[in-house]
Structure 1
Amino acid sequence: MRRVLLAICVPGLLAAGVLLTVARANGPHKAGENPNVLWTIVHDRCVPNQMGEDTPTPCAVVDIDRGYAVLKDKTGRAQYLVIPTARVTGIEDRTLLAQDAPDYFGAAWRQIDRSLARLGHTMPRETMALAINSKFGRSQNQLHIHIDCLAPNIRVALHWARPKIGSGWTPLLLDGHVYRATRIDGDTLDGAYPFRRLAASLADPAREMDEHTLVVVGTVWPNGRPGFILLDDVVKPLSGDRASGEELEDHSCHIAAFEPGRPIHPYDRL
């Protein structure tokens, strides 16, 4: 995978972060919605097409061996979804904590270049995010990781919060909700297993996981080393927080206008 450029352009975002509205997450199921649409697309169309005709259509990728598919979301300029090819309901699914569970977050970060290709140019790793919503803040009952641009105001907030984030969990106020953040080191997410990190911090993962959301944001630590900020929020009924980490993404990718990078030519596209 091409390396995302590491240049930082924070000053131009200070005003943009205040002015731009963050794209909101899908809410819970509404009357008439089919919560199994993603499962049907992957299971009934993408996987059979890949196995029978060697084409993942309508998905962009189907990796049978690693157990995931990649689908362009109908919402947004550059949003893609990583979806298991097996039946996995969501963040609460106990199979995610098994030792042989596919590395879905590692796979999702490897698709960042696919989103950047839709925008036409590279951007710093700090501009991109992965998100999975809680059971109470999602619209589909098949696990899916949202790959998209980070909202500009969240980009600014996380830039200044980096020195406070370590191996423990640090509270951060983001988009009006209290998240907690922890540090992941490395250029890729391979082997980081955010689901396991979350579970290890809970008293009773089997009962609690469904109320949590996870967001992973690329970063460069103050010492210049690449890494990630792992964010967690939990459902808070009294304040109306449904733990939809997707709220920290911006499906319109306004940040692309403030973070110009190297043009991606057609032959570079995935």
Structure 2
Amino acid sequence: MKRVLLGAAVPAMLAAGILLTVARASGPARLNNDPNVLWSIVHDRCVPNQAGENTPAPCAAVDTDRGYAVLKDRRGLAQYLVIATDRVTGIEDPSILSPAAPDYFGAAWHQVDRSLARLGHTMPRETMALAINSQYGRSQNQLHIHIDCLAPNIRVALHWARPQIGHGWTRLVLNDHTYRATRIDGNSLDGAYPFRRLAASLADPAREMGEHTLVVVGTVWPGGRPGFILLDDMVKPLSGDRAEGEELQDHACRIGHFEPGRAIQEQPYQQAMLPD
């Protein structure tokens, strides 16, 4: 099991040229894949099908008023993606910081029950996570948030780290990568706007946002208040860290084998199921 440590500050961000080198060297699969597949699925199929035939297929849901579609990912039993229906490239896109931007993370948390339905049982909110990868840690150039189970070792690590996490930023080491963590209170993410929280902590958001990843994990704070842990990592070329927060999720959802009988006692995440 990986350890969670309160770490020292990481080195300052390196030059953009080095970052580009890391991105280009990130593997043959990245170079061979079409980075516009998600955009094509949502724009050319899901949105027109919803408008013309009142069915979102192949997506599970389309809400153009709120600016997102929901698609079952091919990987994993329970992984879904919340995808922007407008042309938004990713975390670096300046439109996500607009006052009129859709509440993508708020929408994504409302889709957690889809993942739980695939597993066949509910689970504590601490077992589920949302993740968006950095510009250098993704294969698709259309904003999408991964919804899936949290890796078991990360759940244990965050459980013990909770007392040290406040409304400022606290450094944690997770999977050998240095993250920053901050606290969000509330049962839902509606109006929490993690993108804006990240931008507010950066000296130059327009330049820096693309080098960051965000992960949101459900939690229950000491004392029993529901909330979330917001995690941020940034690209570190020398260590090979591409800021791919999806690494903290487990697409095999092994945690689902450990916890189904404890869901009700541990304040499970419960909402009305949305139709597929």
Q: TM-score, normalization: structure 2?
A: 0.86
Pairing of 1:69-148 with structure 2 (within 5 A) = 69-148=69-148
Deviation track 1:18-45 (CA, whole Å, cap 9, x = no partner) reads 7xxxxxxxx6662321000000000000
Q: Displacement of 1:225 after TM fit?
A: 0.2
Aligned residues of 1:117 and 1:269 also touching (Cα < 8 A): no
Secondary structure at the residue paired with 1:66?
Answer: coil
Q: Displacement of 1:228 after TM fit?
A: 0.1
- Counterpart CA distance in 2 for 1:145 and 1:37 is 15
Secondary structure at the residue paired with 1:106?
Answer: helix
Asked whether 1:200 is paired with 2:205, we answer no
> Who is 1:171 aligned against?
171
Letter in 1 for 2:229: I
> Who is 1:57 aligned against?
57
Aligned residues of 2:113 and 2:273 also touching (Cα < 8 A): no
Q: Displacement of 1:115 after TM fit?
A: 0.3
Letter in 2 for 1:65: D
> Who is 2:22 aligned against?
none
Letter in 2 for 1:165: I
Asked whether 1:259 is paired with 2:259, we answer yes
Q: Displacement of 1:64 after TM fit?
A: 1.5
Letter in 2 for 1:221: W
Shift in alpha-carbon separation, 1:226–1:142, aligned structure 2, 3 A: same
Q: Size of the alignment, in residue pairs? A: 243
> Who is 1:183 aligned against?
183
Shift in alpha-carbon separation, 1:49–1:269, aligned structure 2, 3 A: closer
Structure 1 regions of 5+ residues with no counterpart?
1-16, 19-26
Q: Displacement of 1:269 after TM fit?
A: 6.9
> Who is 1:36 aligned against?
36
Deviation track 1:96-146 (CA, whole Å, cap 9, x = no partner) reads 000010000000000000000000000000000000000000000001000
Q: Displacement of 1:268 after TM fit?
A: 5.7
Secondary structure at the residue paired with 2:260?
Answer: coil
- Counterpart CA distance in 1 for 2:248 and 2:171 is 15
Structure 2 regions of 5+ residues with no counterpart?
3-25, 265-271
Q: Displacement of 1:223 after TM fit?
A: 1.1
Secondary structure at the residue paired with 1:187?
Answer: coil
Secondary structure at the residue paired with 2:114?
Answer: helix
Q: TM-score, normalization: structure 1?
A: 0.87
- Counterpart CA distance in 2 for 1:169 and 1:200 is 12
> Who is 1:213 aligned against?
213
Larger deviation, residues 29-38 vs 226-235? 29-38
- Counterpart CA distance in 2 for 1:30 and 1:147 is 21
> Who is 1:8 aligned against?
none
- Counterpart CA distance in 2 for 1:98 and 1:269 is 28
- Counterpart CA distance in 2 for 1:250 and 1:85 is 26
Identical-pair percentage: 77
Secondary structure at the residue paired with 2:32?
Answer: coil
